[in-house]
């Protein structure tokens, strides 16, 4: 078992848990990767899902732990219904998804198992995997951990969640989200450069920065968009999302006044329209904006619970 799980510093929380000895880190997981679900997924950006779907692997656990997480059933260790897999097992399911004509392999929240996931990609490439591999991550990442995937990860699907340190402290208990996310995205862009597409418009390489608008946080969104536009320009794709859904833990936090009351509802559609208009006026060449109301649980998978 990799010594990189001993005294774990894989994520910016640096909890130091000896996960190689079976201890659980802040991510709620030990050193044995646990996959809850893998399947073709059609709800990602068009250049990721396409018509055939994205070969998505949902890992259990998370090192960020947002209180509004739609995947909370598997992200905070509430269940242990997934299947333990080593690097060989993971590489086999990548090949199975590729055999289902997936456009890519889409690894959701894998970074707390980065050493094993790195090895699994190497094994899959050796077995003939040719489709892109995407890391679907929170943005709160160690740059040293990201460097494990230099030359292995084709596409980074990263969130950029918060600008305000006060907001990130309330939502996930970290005040340094902004600084950490900017350093992490800098590293992703350094690795991948400008986006590359194939003849069908499917993404082969690059960085997509996703921002989920949060209720009552219009100006936080504007600051994030300004930072992305100024710092990265056309080197990244911007995906502005409106599907915030008040999950049970968020509603409870609002009741306890740990979150603003707005988090018990959905975002103001006028706020989303205003930010879409702002992006369009910026002239950024690669943006995704959602049509209609995508909120609710339409795209929440049926996890094993």
* pLDDT tens readout for residues 228-242: 999 999 999 999 999
Q: What distance in Å separates the CA atoms of residue 117 and residue 224, rounded to the nearest whole number?
A: 30
Helix or strand holding residue 37 (H, E): strand 34-41
Query: What pLDDT is recorded for position 229?
Result: 98
Query: For 142-192, how does the pLDDT look when each residue is reduced to its tens digit (9 = 90+)?
Result: 999 999 999 999 999 999 999 999 999 999 999 999 999 999 999 999 999
| pLDDT value, residue 116 | 97
pTM score, whole prediction: 0.95
Query: How far apart are alpha carbons 67 and 77 in whole angstroms?
Result: 13
Side-chain half-sphere exposure of 217, counting CA atoms within 13 A: 28
The C-alpha atoms of residue 109 and residue 83 are separated, in whole angstroms, by 15
Residues 34-289, CATH architecture: Alpha-Beta Barrel (3.20)
Instruction: Return the structure tokens found at 70.
Output: 């739609």
pLDDT value of residue 292: 53
Q: What is the pLDDT of residue 80?
A: 66
| Per-residue pLDDT at 64 | 95
Q: Where are the domains of the chain?
A: 34-289
Q: According to the model, what pLDDT value does residue 75 have? A: 85
Positions of the chain with pLDDT under 70: 1-3, 77-80, 291-301, 304-305
Residue recorded with tokens 């949902």: 58
């Amino acid at each position: 078992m990799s010594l990189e799980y001993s005294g774990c510093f894989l994520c910016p929380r640096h909890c130091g848990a000896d996960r190689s000895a079976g201890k659980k880190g802040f991510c709620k997981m030990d050193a044995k990767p646990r996959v809850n679900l893998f399947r073709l997924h059609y709800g990602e950006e068009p250049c990721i899902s396409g018509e055939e779907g994205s070969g998505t692997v949902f890992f259990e656990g998370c090192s960020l732990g947002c209180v509004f997480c739609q995947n909370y059933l598997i992200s905070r260790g509430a269940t242990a219904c997934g299947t333990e897999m080593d690097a060989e097992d993971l590489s086999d399911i990548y090949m199975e998804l590729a055999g289902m004509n997936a456009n890519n392999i889409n690894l959701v929240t894998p970074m707390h198992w980065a050493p094993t996931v790195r090895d699994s990609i190497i094994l899959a490439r050796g077995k003939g995997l040719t489709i892109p591999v995407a890391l679907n991550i929170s943005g709160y990442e160690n740059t040293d951990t990201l460097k494990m995937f230099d030359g292995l990860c084709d596409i980074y699907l990263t969130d950029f969640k918060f600008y305000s340190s006060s907001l990130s402290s309330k939502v996930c208990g970290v005040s340094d989200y902004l600084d950490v996310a900017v350093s992490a995205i800098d590293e992703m862009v350094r690795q991948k450069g400008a986006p590359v597409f194939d003849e069908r418009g499917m993404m082969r390489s690059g960085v997509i920065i996703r921002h989920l608008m949060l209720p009552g946080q219009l100006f936080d969104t504007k600051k994030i968009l300004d930072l992305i536009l100024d710092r990265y320009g056309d080197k990244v794709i911007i995906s502005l999302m409106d599907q915030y859904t008040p999950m049970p833990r968020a509603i409870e936090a609002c009741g306890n006044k740990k979150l603003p009351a707005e988090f018990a509802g959905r975002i103001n559609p006028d706020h989303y329209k205003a930010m879409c208009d702002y992006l369009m006026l910026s002239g950024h060449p690669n943006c995704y904006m959602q049509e209609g109301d995508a909120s609710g649980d339409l795209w929440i998978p049926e996890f094993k619970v």
